[in-house]
Amino acid sequence: MVIGPPGTGKTTFLKRQVEKIVASQSIIPINTSPVLVCSLTRTAAAEIAGRGLPIPRKACGTIHAHGYRSIKDRPPLLDAEFFKDWNRHHPGYKISKLQKINPNSEVDGWNAENEFTGGHGTACLTVATGLLHSMKPFSMWPKDIRNFYTMYAELKRVHGKIDYDDMILMASDHPPFDPKVILIDEAQDVSRLEWDLLRKWGSVAGALIAVGDDRQSLYEWRGADPSFLQDPSIPDNRRKVLSQSYRIPKAIHAKAEKIARELTTYVPVAYRPTDEEGSITYNNSTYKIIDPIMPEIHRFLDKGESVMLSVATNYMANNIARQLKEMKELYSNPWRITNRAWNPSIMHDDQHSGNPGTTTLVNRINSFMVAARPAHGDDRRMWNYRDLFNWTEWLTGEGFFIHGAKKAIRDAAKEKPLERITEADLKRWFFWPGEINAEVLDWFLKTDIGEERKFSEIMDWWAGRMDLMHGRRYREQTRRLGRCWDKHGYGKTPSLYVGTFHSFKGAEADHVFLWPDISLSAYKLWIGSGGADRYRDPILKQFYVGVTRARKTLSIGRPCKKLAVPL
C-alpha cells in the first residue's frame, strides 16, 4: 500500500514501478504484459498511459475496461435503443441521457455535491450502483430500489446486453494480459466490489500494488472504500508514504491539514510541503459575482501564471463560466474536455455535423487557419468549401463579397464540403484584387515563405470584418485568442480554468480561487450530522481536494447563502 498525498508525484511513482518491473523480466511473451495498470476513470488512465510506459497501451486502462476484456464471450454494451425501450416501458423510472448507465463517466456523478438532474430512474440507478459496489446483500436494499433493479436486470437480459457494473460482476478471476503485478492508481476511489475483483487478480498475478490517498476519496457515494488503504493486516514493511509534496506550499499545507483533522477517519500522514511559504487570503467575491477578483486574475494571467476557479457543484461552475463568457474572457477545463460549457475555446472533433451552420467560434477560426504554416506546419492545406463557409459566414459582405457569394458558398459547403476551393472560386466570390487579396492572402503567403507574422494580426482582421451581431458577441474574444496564441502558440488552451473540485482532481494551478458554497442536499447532511459524524466526511474531502490544487496562493470567496462550509 502506497499513500500519495497531494503533489507527491503518484503518477511518476507508478511509472517508475512499471519500468522496474518490466526491466526485471528477461522474456515477455507476445500479447502479455508484466504489469496491468488499473484506474477508475478514463482521465486518470490516460494520464498514466501518456507517460510512455513500456507496456502495451491497452494494459493501462480502467478497471471496467480490463474487466470487460477478461470476459470470455463478451456481450454488447447497453446502447441508446435500450434506454429508449426502457423509458417507453417504464415512464415512471426514466433514465436520463446525461448519466445513462455509466457512473464512472467524465460527467460528475451524483453525490453530496450534486442535485439529481435526471428522472426517477436515474436516481434509482445511482442508488443501486452504490449498493452493488458496496456489496450490500440484495435482500437489504430498499424495496423500491429492489423493484427497480429487478425490472432493469430483466430488460438487460431481454436485450442480451450488459452495463458497466456487469463488467465487474461478470469479469473472469484471471486478469487480462497475464500480468505478474496488478498496479492500482487512485485506490481510494475503488469500491468494495472492485477491490474484491482486484484482489483475485492480485492472487493470480502474484503481487498487487495500490497507490492512493483516502483524504482524496470522492466516490464513496458509489461504494468506494478508502479504508482498504489502512488495512491493518498489511505489515509495515509493505507500506510506503510518498513524503514530499512538490506542489503545496507551507500555508496551504497547514490549511489542508486543518480540514483533514476534522475527518472522522483522520489518520496522521507525514508529508512535507515545499520550501515556499505560499499564502491564503479571503476576498469579497461570490461565485455569482466574480467581478471583484477579476483585476487580480488578470495580473496573474499577464505574468503567464495559471488560475483555477473552483466550486463544489456543476451549476456553480456553470454560473462562473457564464460570467466569464459575458466578460469575453478566455477560459477552459482541460481535465473535463467534453464539458463544452467549460471549454468554449477548445476544439471538439464532432462539431462538424454536416450542417455548416453548427460550428463554434474556435472551429471557425481553425477552419480559417488550416492553410497557415505557423498553425499547422507542413500539414497545412488549402481551404475546402466547408472551411470557407465556416470562416466567412459571420463576416459582413460590404466591400468584400460579390453579390450572391455567401449563398453560393453555403450551397457548396453542403454539396461538396471536403472538396478544395480553387482560385477561380475566390475570383468569383470575392472582390479581386481587393481586401481578401491584400490582407488575408498576404498574411498567409508571407508566413508560408517563412516571414514572422503574429496570429493576433490575422485575428484582428477577422474580428474586424464580423457583422454587427457576431461582432458584439465574439470580436473581443477572438482578439484575445490571437494574443494568447502569440504568447503561447497556436491552439493552446487558456490558463484560466473553471470547474468543480471533482473535475480538478489530479490537476493543479499557480493560484486557486475557491468558494465555500455547497448544495442543499450537502447542507442537509452537514447540519444533520451533528458535527462528529461520517456524513460530513465526503464534503470535507471535496474541500481538501479543492484547497490542495494550489501551487502558490489560495483565495477564498464569500458564500452566497448560509449553505456553505466554514473555511
Tell me if 195 is assigned to some domain. Answer: yes
Residues comprising the chain, all counted: 567
User: Using CA atoms, how far apart are residues 411 and 406, in angstroms rounded to an integer?
Assistant: 9
Residue finishing a domain among 451, 471, 488: 488
Which cell numbers in the block locate residue 276? 515556499
What pLDDT is stored for residue 351 in this prediction?
38
Tell me if 426 is assigned to some domain. Answer: yes
What pLDDT is stored for residue 354 in this prediction?
38
Tell me if 562 is assigned to some domain. Answer: no
297 CB burial (10 A radius; 0-12, 13-18, 19+): buried
Domain with residue 55: its CATH number is: 3.40.50.300
481, 459 Cβ separation under 8 angstroms: yes
Same domain, 508 and 540: yes
Query: DSSP E strands: which ranges in 13-154?
Result: 35-39, 60-62
200, 173 Cβ separation under 8 angstroms: yes
Tell me if 378 is assigned to some domain. Answer: yes
Helix (H) or strand (E) holding 364: helix 361-369
The pTM of this model reads 0.80
Nearest C-alpha neighbor of 210 from the set 25, 389, 38, 450: 38
Helix (H, G, I), strand (E, B) or coil at 70: helix
User: Using CA atoms, how far apart are residues 162 and 164, in angstroms rounded to an integer?
Assistant: 7
Same domain, 67 and 86: no
Same domain, 212 and 64: yes
**Contacting residues for 238 by C-beta, under 8 A, at least 6 apart:** 1
Instruction: Say if strands 181-184 and 208-212 run parallel, antiparallel, or are unpaired.
Output: parallel
User: Using CA atoms, how far apart are residues 453 and 49, in angstroms rounded to an integer?
Assistant: 37
Nearest C-alpha neighbor of 18 from the set 47, 48, 41: 48
Location of C-alpha cell 482524496 = 216
Same domain, 49 and 152: no
6, 213 Cβ separation under 8 angstroms: yes
Same domain, 192 and 276: no
36, 495 Cβ separation under 8 angstroms: no
In the chain, what is the straight-line distance between the N-terminal and C-terminal CA atoms, in Å? 31
Tell me if 349 is assigned to some domain. Answer: no
Same domain, 376 and 410: yes
Which string of DSSP letters, residue by residue, matches 153-176?
A: HHHHHHHT-B-HHHHHHT--SSPT
Helix (H, G, I), strand (E, B) or coil at 316: helix
Tell me if 446 is assigned to some domain. Answer: yes
489 φψ region: left (φ > 0), alpha (ψ -120 to 50), beta (else): left
Same domain, 164 and 177: no
Same domain, 109 and 226: no
**Contacting residues for 488 by C-beta, under 8 A, at least 6 apart:** none
Residue finishing a domain among 432, 458, 488: 488
Q: For the chain, which residues score pLDDT lower than 70? A: 97-119, 345-359, 432-439, 441, 445-451, 493, 529-533
**Contacting residues for 352 by C-beta, under 8 A, at least 6 apart:** 358, 359, 363, 386, 417
Tell me if 304 is assigned to some domain. Answer: yes
State the total domains in the chain.
4
**Contacting residues for 257 by C-beta, under 8 A, at least 6 apart:** none
Same domain, 416 and 549: no
User: Using CA atoms, how far apart are residues 186 and 6, in angstroms rounded to an integer?
Assistant: 12
312, 518 Cβ separation under 8 angstroms: yes
Same domain, 298 and 422: no
Same domain, 393 and 538: no
Q: How far is CA 263 from CA 131, 229, 288, 558, 563, in A?
A: 23, 16, 29, 23, 20
Give pLDDT tens digits for 164-208: 999 999 999 999 999 999 999 999 999 999 999 999 999 999 999
Residue finishing a domain among 127, 153, 168: 168
The packing angle between helices 468-488 and 361-369, to 10°, is 60
The phi, psi pair for 269, rounded to 5°, reads -130, 120
Nearest C-alpha neighbor of 174 from the set 203, 137, 217, 143: 203
Amino acid at 10: K
User: Using CA atoms, how far apart are residues 390 and 462, in angstroms rounded to an integer?
Assistant: 12
User: Using CA atoms, how far apart are residues 148 and 156, in angstroms rounded to an integer?
Assistant: 13
For residue 214, what are the domain limits?
A: 2-71+171-242
Tell me if 388 is assigned to some domain. Answer: yes
Same domain, 175 and 164: no
Give pLDDT tens digits for 109-163: 333 333 334 468 888 998 999 999 999 999 999 999 999 999 999 999 999 999 9
The phi, psi pair for 273, rounded to 5°, reads -75, 180
